[in-house]
Chains A and B, each alone.
Chain A
Amino acid sequence: MAETATRDLVIERVFDAPRELVYRAFIDPDQISQWFGPVGWSVPRDTVEIDARVGGDQKFTMVNDDDPSQASPVNAKFVEVIENELLVGAETWHDPELGEVEMTGRFEFHDEGDGRTRLVITQGPYGEETVEMAREGWESSFTKLDTLLAG
């Protein structure tokens, strides 16, 4: 039971595009504002600040199309960057109960050959600890996603 609840979260998808392009879609502000966020949400271009190097910013805000007062910011720093291969972003904040909490999102770009790319998203490299971080970090997003899915 506990094992199920704290299982690592891994999401994979193969794209019919070379990995340079897939990678770029994650670090190019123009492109992020074009694709990121579920349907019904936008990422305004002027909220996006991406500096894809260790210590650089990974910032953007998802805004609800119908109710722009609903906004869901991501405010992370890159902790690992290998061009065209790997992006790891971490968001750190202080939790009164837990102290310093860090949410980590790991994006691996694997060359599958034939111009295809396998993207592997792991919610943190440190196993189940990151579940909590995922929860905190994406909480506001999913509050709204809940509404979206219920509607």
Chain B
Amino acid sequence: MSTDADDRLSLIFSALADPTRRAILARLTEGEATVGELAQPFDISLPAISRHLKVLERAGLISRGRSAQWRTSTLEAAPLKEATDWMERYRVFWDANLDRLDAHLKKVMSDRAASAPRGSDPEPGMNDTTPDRTTRNTNRKSTRKGKSHG
């Protein structure tokens, strides 16, 4: 079910989830650096930095030189673009979702206006709204309360 692109994005976002790795990336925006240079601002060991670099490299966010001794890391921009593209789609998702919420609320409002005032009803407008799109309302359990005090 998951595509190569999904897997790559998962790697990118996993890599970006760590503050140390983001700091490493921020440092690399200024130019390539060795493990020692990258480790300097952090209170962590070189092997730990190397592990972070491995994660970043696996995500394609950096590339590393071949020379074992003076191995430098370089920022790769394209995967970051992918990540921001993904976030943009998240925004598109919510925009579409909130369009539907807007339409739904308008319906709830007009249904409320049409019916008698029911200010004390704990669930106003709940049962008298017509679904604006057919959902499978078969198993209408009412054991869960929609509302409770936290």
Which residues of A line the B interface, CB within 8 A? 1-7, 9, 11, 13, 15-17, 21-22, 24-25, 27-31, 33-39, 42-46, 49-54, 56, 78, 80-83, 95, 97-98, 101, 119, 121, 123, 128-129, 131-136, 138-143, 145-146, 149
Chain A contacts of B145 at CB under 8 A?
Answer: 51
Our pick among A1, A38, A143 for the contact of B1 (Cβ within 8 Å) is A143
Closest-CB distance, B145 to chain A (whole angstroms): 7
User: Would you call B14 and A39 a contact (CB within 8 A)?
Assistant: no
Expressed in whole angstroms, the Cα–Cα distance for A83 and B145 within the complex equals: 14
Q: With CB as the reference atom, state the residue of chain B lying closest to A54.
A: B150
**Which residues of the other chain, A, contact B103 by a CB distance below 8 angstroms?**
35
| A51 in contact with B144 (CB, 8 Å) | yes
Q: What is the CB-to-nearest-CB distance from A126 to chain B, in angstroms, rounded to a whole number?
A: 10
Once bound together, how far apart are the Cα atoms of A102 and B105, in whole Å?
30
Q: Which residues of B contact A21 (CB under 8 A)?
A: 105, 108-109, 124-125
Q: A9-B87, A28-B146, A82-B150 are in contact. Are A131 and B16 (CB under 8 A)?
A: yes
A149-B89 in contact (CB<8A): yes
**Given A3-B26, A54-B150: A44 in contact with B16 (beta carbons within 8 A):** no
Contact B29 A42 (CB under 8 A): no
Q: List 5 A-B contacts (CB under 8 A).
A: A2-B22, A42-B136, A132-B13, A142-B89, A142-B93
Chain A CB within 8 A of B17 CB: yes
Shortest distance in angstroms between B13's beta carbon and chain A's nearest beta carbon? 4
B: contact size bracket: 35 or more
- Nearest CB to that of B85 among chain A residues? A5
Shortest 4 CB-CB contacts between residues of A and residues of B: A132-B17, A81-B150, A135-B13, A46-B139
B9, CB-defined interface residue at 8 Å: yes
Chain B's nearest CB lies how many Å from the CB of A30?
A: 6
* CB <8 Å contact, B87 and A2: no
Chain A residue nearest in CB terms to B23: A2
Chain A residue numbers with a CB within 8 Å of B3 are: 143
Residue in B17, B25, B97, B136 whose CB lies within 8 Å of A46: B136
Cα–Cα, bound, A102→B71 (Å): 34
Question: In the complex, how many angstroms separate the beta carbon of B127 from the nearest chain A beta carbon?
Answer: 7
